[in-house]
Structure 1
Amino acid sequence: MPRKKADSPNAPLAPGQAATINDIARLSGVSKKTVSRIINDSPLVRQDTREKVQALMKELGYAPDPLARALAFRRSFLIGMVYDNPTAQYIVDMQYGALDALRGTSFELVVHPCDTRSPGYIEGVRRFVQQQKLHGVILVPRASEDQALVEMLDQIGCRFTRIAALPLDETSATVVTHDRDGAAEAADYLLSLGHRDIALITGPSAYRSAHERTSGFLEALERRGLRLPPERIIEAGYTFESGVAAAEKLLLGGQRPTAIFTGNDEMAAGVYKVAMRAGLTIPRQLSIIGYDDSPLASRLWPSLTSVRRQTRDTGRTAAAMLIQPEGSALRTASVRPHLAVRDSCQPPEL
């Protein structure tokens, strides 16, 4: 029987047919093992062969399947991101940053939202890691702050990078975001404008970031001789709705503050809503500072002064740390915040 044209060493692919690794090997005249070595950046391939095969893969639009590669080489080309955070924009920016670092590499990103208050969540993360055969995991606050989760990942031999407001231990690879310093800069700015009757809407106390921002803000005020009374400090939940509830307590009662610092931009937006309902003009009658410098900050009117936390840079740094060879990977990196001054603050009315 005559050989089928499709089996000929030089037979082109049919229109619309997706190329396989066998096609790449056949059309380039090398072995499948050589193609695999090129895909995995092995040095055991001549440069001219590497260039020829890579050009063919580009021409045919061939992309190796990460899961198939993981099975073949007993290692994964998937990076996981585990998070429990109520701020959607923060998670989106973190993912964009991680994808920035992975672009042009063999790695892909998969995400795993979880509820760290659920008793079975650590077992859920274990299944996620093992079923996906992950190369490593980026732990986003609040999951990054759970020592039991870290110990489980150590136990199963999964690499991880923690994102945290401050160094959590001496051994974990960590991207430190220095939230205390960002909040202190916000306090110094309000004091420089002449504000003395200041209120603080914090994030939930279960989050280390909320604790660090609260401490940094209050300590900066105290260094300048100002101590906030308890009724000027209200805990909220990092959400718009909780910002509304907290602002109602501060603005719809008796004497109102001249300035409010909130633990994130979502809560600041809630303050804007209550201020508008109360007939207060921002910033003439009320100055507001948020935290995150999310896209929301520049969309509010007047635009919101906010502490820029460099979330995308944080995700990019965390992912880059994970894909480095273990011996050369950084143990700690810093992404420092700074205040982005816009139109929501001015000196208080006399």
Structure 2
Amino acid sequence: MNDDDRKPTIGDVARLAGVSPMTVSRVINDSANVRPETRAKVEAVITATGYAPDPAARILARAGAGRIGLLYANPSNAYLAEVLAGALSGARAAGLLLMIEPSQAGDPAAERLAVSRLVAGGAQGVIVPPPLGESAATLDAIARAGLRAVVLAAPSRSPGIVSLKVDDRAAAREVVEYLIELGHRRIGFIEGRGDQSASAERRQGAEQAVASIPGASLSVVEGDFTYRSGLEAARRLLAGTPRPTAIFASNDDMASGALAAVHGAGLDAPGDVSVAGFDDTYIAANSWPTLTTVRQPAADMAHEAAIRLARPGAEPEPIRHHLITRDSTGPVPH
């Protein structure tokens, strides 16, 4: 810590301890889901820095104020579970109350109503996961209500809105470069929803990786981030001649659908077709075979969003992705 008047934050503790803010929160709240050696490390940093959860936020929460909201309209239950866990953890760490409100993406009236319900419930800020973070109706309603906002996995559309996102283009490029290292040259790509910038950025990253390798090609089929769309998109890719030797889907739900399509065609993954996804939700570790994917730390992002709403002057920390290689990818078949 610098010798100035700034109080240590949960982000400072996490950085010094080499863990995520969510792990620090678990230690503070005496969660059992922390390894003893990690707990000891975090507690040592807390002692050294003098960090303490914001007492003002806790007082507000006890007084019935200090409320933040979470809007959701994401078709992926796996992704939503990650976001919800992180938002709850972050709100608890900041001493805030979390209100959860469903919305309906693509229906401006329903989106405005969802925001108005949060306002009526006393919310002072809102966490906005995709796809609502890029919806004009939702963002306009938030601005009109004067709410602080943090959008997840989307760029900020306003100077007053904080954005927490990974570098989607770099992450997708890394996945395809890994597939190329395994010898794959015919790669299928299942794109996400067109109304989310992450979809275009992931496609661009995949295209950049392929463009640098002579003889490599990328076949693109559109999906909508659902299992069903991944299944149908992968069937179309596998019906091509020659078929791809690897399929990269823009999220784990679609990748899980792609695995089902591979198996349904009487093929082996990764023996005949490698499959990779994006997000590293619980689906990835529980698929058969387990899914190679990009870890987008959705829970940590949502946790950090709650902290940012409690302390609006704090600078958001960079969100890093990680390529997680598992059993669904392997060398190109010969």
TM over 0.5: yes
Secondary structure at the residue paired with 1:234? Answer: strand
Residues of 1 paired with 2:103 and 2:270: CA distance? 38
Question: Alpha-carbon deviation of 1:340?
Answer: 0.1
Structure 1 residues 196 and 144: alpha-carbon distance in aligned structure 2, compared to 1, 3 A threshold: same
- Partner of residue 282 from structure 1, selected from 257, 260, 269: 269
Q: Is the 8 A contact 1:163 1:177 kept in 2?
A: no
Residues of 1 paired with 2:119 and 2:157: CA distance? 25
Structure 1 residues 133 and 241: alpha-carbon distance in aligned structure 2, compared to 1, 3 A threshold: same
TM-score, reference length from structure 2: 0.77
Number of the residue aligned with 1:329 = 314
1:215 aligns with 2:215: no
Q: Is the 8 A contact 2:71 2:101 kept in 1?
A: yes
Secondary structure at the residue paired with 2:276? Answer: strand
Number of the residue aligned with 1:339 = 323
Matched to 2:82, the amino acid is: D
Number of the residue aligned with 1:348 = 332
Mapping for residues 1-350 of structure 1, pairs under 5 Å = 41=55, 69-70=63-64, 76-225=65-214, 228=217, 232-324=219-311, 326=312, 328-330=313-315, 332-350=316-334
Residues of 2 paired with 1:195 and 1:166: CA distance? 32
Matched to 2:185, the amino acid is: R
Q: Is the 8 A contact 2:108 2:137 kept in 1?
A: no
Structure 1 residues 111 and 183: alpha-carbon distance in aligned structure 2, compared to 1, 3 A threshold: same
Matched to 2:222, the amino acid is: E
Number of the residue aligned with 2:46 = none
Residues of 2 paired with 1:155 and 1:303: CA distance? 45
Matched to 1:163, the amino acid is: L
Residues of 1 paired with 2:330 and 2:171: CA distance? 19
Q: Is the 8 A contact 2:185 2:216 kept in 1?
A: no
Q: How many pairs were matched up?
A: 280
Q: Is the 8 A contact 2:99 2:123 kept in 1?
A: no
Q: Is the 8 A contact 2:185 2:217 kept in 1?
A: no
Give the percent of matched residue pairs that are identical in Structure 1 and Structure 2.
31
Q: Deviations over 1:270-312 (max 9, x none)?
A: 1111211211111111111111111111112221111110111
Residues of 1 paired with 2:306 and 2:93: CA distance? 13
Matched to 2:234, the amino acid is: A
Q: Is the 8 A contact 1:165 1:180 kept in 2?
A: no
Matched to 2:272, the amino acid is: Q
* Larger Rg over CA atoms: 1
CA RMSD of aligned residues (A): 2.3
Q: Is the 8 A contact 1:181 1:216 kept in 2?
A: yes
Matched to 1:340, the amino acid is: I
Q: Is the 8 A contact 1:166 1:177 kept in 2?
A: no
Matched to 1:321, the amino acid is: R
Structure 1 residues 41 and 291: alpha-carbon distance in aligned structure 2, compared to 1, 3 A threshold: closer
Point out where structure 1 has 5 or more consecutive residues left out of the alignment: 1-39, 43-62, 71-75
TM-score, reference length from structure 1: 0.74
